[in-house]
């Protein structure tokens, strides 16, 4: 991939004429102030496709598609219909990398994602330290049996020291999770300079 570019918050794909003239339509000049851009499928996409990633990779952008920038810091545009699934999976992956730097020896998750017109969401998360055993469960119960399931279990040989602790802090910034209260709790209570370290962590969301 060529040199990355600064991506807008939202991208909508249109034909060449619409991508040029939308600024002169009512409200069109305010879109970019909100981080929204209209890209031309003929002109913009060929220039940009080598400078960022599109998710899912098997879906080629076409006129009418809308994409959102990865909220976790990578130069990736996520197809709007796949955004929820992407965010759940990516956040778990980010948390896994952070807790490994905090001395985790074990981290697991179980995601169940369903799509429906009528939805009820719930999620559970818990984690333990050194041995750091983690368990993240996120489920969505709906009136349809359309469910994608993702499950994984990580085992680490990791050591908590000042370097790994600082790496965990940098990862929270890289992933834009430095404002997340759960992550901040883990960072604060796994400081290697403290005499008493957090050994186990459980949370329901």
Reported as a single tens digit per residue, the pLDDT across 93-122 is 898 889 889 888 777 776 665 655 444 444
Question: Please, are residues 63 and 15 in contact by the beta-carbon 8 Å criterion?
Answer: yes
Share of the chain above pLDDT 70, in %: 73
Cβ neighbors of 169 (< 8 A, separation 6 or more) are 187
Contacts of 58 (CB under 8 A, 6+ apart): none
Other Cβ atoms closer than 10 A to 142: 16
Residue with tokens 């719930």: 122
- What is the C-alpha to C-alpha distance for residues 119 and 56, in angstroms, rounded to an integer? 23
180, 124 in Cβ contact below 8 A?
Answer: no
Whole-number pLDDT of residue 3: 61
- Of the spans 19-33, 54-68, 188-202, which averages the highest pLDDT? 54-68
Rounded Cα distance between 48 and 57, Å, is 15
The pLDDT of residue 92 is 84
Mean pLDDT computed over 116-130: 45
Task: Look at residue 201 in the predicted model and tell me its pLDDT.
Answer: 64
* Residue 13 pLDDT grade (very low, low, confident, very high; cuts 50, 70, 90): very high
């Amino acid at each position: 991939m060529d040199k990355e570019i600064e991506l807008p918050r939202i991208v909508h794909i249109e034909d060449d004429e619409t991508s040029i003239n939308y600024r002169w339509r009512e409200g069109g000049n305010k879109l970019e102030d909100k981080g929204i851009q209209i890209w031309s499928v003929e002109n913009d996409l060929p220039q940009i496709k080598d400078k960022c990633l599109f998710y899912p990779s098997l879906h080629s952008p076409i006129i009418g598609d809308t994409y959102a920038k990865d909220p976790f810091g990578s130069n990736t545009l996520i197809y709007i219909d796949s955004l929820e699934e992407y965010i759940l999976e990516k956040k778990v992956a980010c948390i896994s990398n952070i807790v490994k730097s905090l001395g985790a020896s074990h981290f697991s998750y179980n995601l169940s994602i369903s799509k429906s017109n009528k939805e009820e969401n719930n999620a559970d998360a818990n984690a333990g330290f050194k041995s750091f055993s983690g368990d993240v469960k996120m489920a969505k119960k709906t009136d349809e049996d359309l469910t994608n399931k993702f499950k994984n279990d990580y085992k680490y040989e990791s050591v908590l020291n000042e370097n790994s602790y600082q790496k965990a802090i940098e990862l929270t910034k890289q992933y834009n999770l430095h404002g997340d209260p759960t992550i901040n709790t883990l960072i604060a209570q796994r400081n290697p300079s403290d005499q008493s370290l957090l050994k186990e962590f459980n949370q329901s969301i």
